[in-house]
Structure 1
Amino acid sequence: MSGFSGTEPAPVTPQGRRGVVVRLARRAGWGVFDQALSSFGNLLLAVLVARAVDVHAFGAFTVAFSVYTIAVQVSRTLVSQPLAIRYAGVPVDEYRAASGLSTGTALAIGLAAAVPLAALGLLLGGTVGHALATVGLLLPGLLVHDAWRVAFTAHGRPDQAALIDGTWLLVQVGGVAGLLAVGIDSPVPYLLAWGLAATAAAALGVARGRVRPQVVRTWTWLSSHWDITRFLLFDAVLVQGAFQGALLLVGALGTLSAAGALRGAAVVLGPVSLLAMSAMSFSVPELARRRHMPARTRLAVASGIGALMGTASLAWGAVALLLPDQAGVFLLGDTWSGVEPVLLPTVIGQAANLFALGPVSMILAMAATRTVFRINSTLAVLLVVLGVGGVLTGGAVGAAYGFLIAYWLVMPLWFRSMWKLVRAGAADPVRPG
């Protein structure tokens, strides 16, 4: 039986509406569970490798894993997001065909990156080079696995995404446990266990989706969706680069401990970030498949999503702020002393960012990626300017308040832009012919 299923008709009876709510809640729950599996797998790998190898080897692992993170970001931008925006809610056969094109493109991206990465790794040699070459060779399976989990989620089957992620986690844990048992102290075997487990999960995705990745039609997919993906790609590079660049400048102009404190605060608020990723992966395709909702309903739904996420952020932030010092030291060690002063502005800033998640999801579901890029360009400038200005005037705490101001200044722009798009009756995200 296929992992894809037909889309449900819009019910009109109260019983039918209750059924839709139940199904939406079930899908949302599976989506959170799947994201938790994925994040936990990567976290578990990092913790176990850190305990098994020395500092130099773990640094090599970190470099290799960072390359994977960048590759996944690029792949999701070019492969998964257009699938979620333009094909959510289409008939099963059409979605299956689109999934074959998208996963084939992910495989092509992995193959294209594998050769130069493997060559660079062999050229560098040593622990770092070998780890880099290993990740390069594993990228095709890793990217196809990620593309399948997003494909199932976007079609309203996050339970199937959880199935392949659960398989990936179980196989990975088995392989890593075996390596630990024999005392392996090199990062390469652990990377192999992780990447080969992802490849096995990707194969399960192919079996459940009942369509093979269509590598030969990669250019068709890329060219058909370049009208929206070019803004998504620039947006991903710009915003992530701005935030990471701001942290680097905080470390350079302030102190390394200031940068570490800001990073530590992000770790404490990690569960809310996990919830936000789950909400985005769930809400964008769900909104896209309901593209004929009345304007008033669109505004109400987006505002409700933002209010829910902002409230969850503040609730978890309150828990973090009330955390006893002993618990903070247990979690972060000596870093906690620097994290505690920046926690309040970080919580308030994250709340603004998550309040905006509702309109961001709606704007993406309407395929208005140019709007997303324009607002995030403003955010990128503000993060750098206010973050650096903050650290020069008030150290880590000043930088945290700079980030807070940046997020709150941009938040109204999301709601204003969504309002204009919805009121103008923005065109449906018509799929290319």
Structure 2
Amino acid sequence: MGAKAAIASSVADQGVAAFTNIIVLVVAARLSTAAGFAVFSMVYMVFTVLLGIGVSYVGQALVLERGEGRVRAACRSAATFTAVASTVIGLCMAGALSFVPGGTAGGLAVLGLVLPIVLTQDGMRYCFSALRLPHYALAADTVRLAVAVPALAVQPHGAGAVRLVAVWGISAVPALLVGAALLWPKVRHAPVDLRAYVRRGHLGQRFVIEFGVGNATSQLAVVGLGLFAAPLAVGALRGATTLFGPMNVLFNSATAFGPPLLNRVRGTDDKVRATAVLGIALAWVAVAWTVVLMLLPDHVGRQLLGATWASSSALLPASGSQYAGIALGTSALLTLRVLRPRATLPIQVVFSLASVVFMLVGYAADGVLGAAWGLFLGSALKATALWLRIAAVRRGTGAGAGQQAPGAAEEGVTAGSSAGPR
């Protein structure tokens, strides 16, 4: 598949996947009360954290693999490891939470039961990315969308989080089967090595630490905010995030499918210029989308988010600013992942923890609106730090070395390497 067709399929696939997530949240918001959607949001956010861990540990390391034979073996191993690990984690969740009272615990228990289905289906998308077959991922995710939307749409008004989570999870079975049928012919003769994922120095261990102090920290802080302070704040923040779903499409496309494409660009300077242009373009798209959302009539907003619209719409300026900062940070992170994968962890640690502090201080000062502006400040500072690190990498790269970017191959860091994305 050519580069242009691969990019088009990659963006389309991310669009379908993100649209499915948006529809799930929109339908849940319309079927639920504000309090019910807050419970569903907390369960869904826990899933988002688990998905991010899986993507970081398996997916982001997988797309850095090179060589046809290594890629095929890594893809089969990655799919198998994801299925096994998610089954163990899911059963532990379900067993531990089945007898805990409360709607949130019940929703999390059901999430544990469907976890192997949804995580394995999503993980195959990174296998198709590494194999440079994004149109296969698009096919599977289209099936996911076609099944999930009708399944949720027929649920009765007032359906609880437990029922909605169960329907959402089971609706991924057809997409899982389609993905497995497409992947199997490409990897059936490749060896399986699950020990690579528990071996010291596996690159995913570093990426999952970055995610843990990055996205997961802030998301779990929001969950904690709902559990110990204001449950409705979670629904408001999650509703605002839902409205920016199209931006998540573009961010996820860059993170998932950017490294294989960027590795085709020769020279450090050319790579940096390409991602700088990408970051600026994404930031402007975030600003434009924010303006569109702010101009929506209230009745249209209520059609999208139901009772949650009133609280989420007040966060649009802050959330839009945050997404502009995320755009610049995502492009910078992509650059460092290709040029110097080991350079991102210290920045992720410092500024992701700072984002949580800013969010909590903002909430103490001005409620959920202050929390949203705190998240913006953290995103802006992280993006600044990442681009400053890129400038330092460029200065430290000689003219000759600039034609051979010091990426994963030079540093000996691949998914299966014993040498030690968000």
TM-score bracket for this pair, using the shorter chain length: 0.7 to 0.9
Find the residue that maps to 2:16 and give its secondary structure. Answer: helix
Q: State the distance in 2 between where 1:331 and 1:279 align.
A: 27
Equivalent residue number for residue 366 of structure 1: 339
Deviations 1:92-133 (A, max 9, x none): x43222211111111121222133123224444887666545
Which of 260, 271, 281 is residue 298 of structure 1 equivalent to? 271
Aligned to 1:112: 88
Matched residue, 2:181: 207
CA gap of 1:60–1:344, structure 2 versus 1, over 3 A, is closer
Partner of 2:60: 81
* 1:65 CA drift (Å): 4.2
Distance in 2 of aligned mates of 1:121 and 1:258 = 24
Identify if the C-alpha distance between structure 1 residues 37 and 376 changes in structure 2 by more than 3 Å, giving closer, same or farther.
same
Total equivalences in the alignment: 403
Distance 1:351-1:50 versus aligned 2 partners, 3 A rule: closer
Sequence identity (%): 24
Please state whether the residue corresponding to 2:266 is helix, strand or coil. coil
Cα gap change, 1:349/1:176 in structure 2, threshold over 3 Å: closer, same or farther? closer
Deviation track 1:45-68 (CA, whole Å, cap 9, x = no partner) reads 455566668899877765654443
- Give ranges in structure 1 of 5+ residues lacking alignment: 6-22
State the shift of 1:217 in Å: 2.6
Q: Which has the larger radius of gyration?
A: 1
Q: Does 1:229 align with 2:204?
A: yes
- Distance between the aligned counterparts of 2:152 and 2:38, measured in 1? 18
Tell me if 1:157 matches 2:133.
yes
Deviation at 1:250, TM superposition (A): 6.9
* 2:218–2:352 CA contact under 8 A, matched in 1: yes
TM-score (norm 2): 0.79
Change (3 A) 1:127 1:251: closer
- Tell me if structure 1 keeps the 8 A contact 2:60–2:256: no
**Equivalent residue of 1:418, what SS?**
helix
Change (3 A) 1:295 1:324: same
Higher relative contact order (CA 8 A, sep 6+): 2
What's the CA shift for 1:361?
0.6
What is the RMSD computed on CA atoms of the aligned residues?
3.8
CA distance, structure 2, for counterparts of residue 359 and residue 248 of structure 1: 28
Say whether residues 1:278 and 2:257 are aligned partners: no
Which amino acid in structure 1 is aligned with residue 117 of structure 2?
Answer: G
Report the AA paired with residue 81 of structure 2: T
Name the aligned partner's letter for residue 76 of structure 2: G
Unaligned runs of 5+ in 2: none
- Quick check: 1:408 aligned with 2:407? no
Residue in 1 that maps onto 2:172: 198
Contact 1:342 1:397 (8 Å CA) reproduced: yes
* Post-superposition CA distance 1:255-284 (Å, at most 9, x none): 666666544443333322232222322212
The equivalent residue for 2:391 is 419
With over 3 angstroms needed to count, the CA separation of the structure-2 counterparts of 1:160 and 1:225, relative to structure 1, is: farther
CA contact 2:37–2:235 (8 Å) conserved in 1: no
Local SS of the residue matching 2:296:
coil
Q: Which residue of 1 aligns with 2:241?
A: 266
Q: Which residue number corresponds to residue 36 of structure 1?
A: 15
Structure 2 CA distance, aligned partners of 1:264 and 1:58?
Answer: 9
Matches within 5 A, 1:373-412: 373-412=345-384
Q: Displacement, 1:376? A: 1.7
Partner of 2:199: helix, strand, or coil? helix
The farther-off stretch of 422-431 and 248-257 is 248-257
Aligned to 1:20: none
CA contact (8 A) 2:39 2:104 kept: yes
Q: 1:249 to 1:83 in 2, by over 3 A?
A: closer
Moved more, 148-157 or 307-316: 148-157
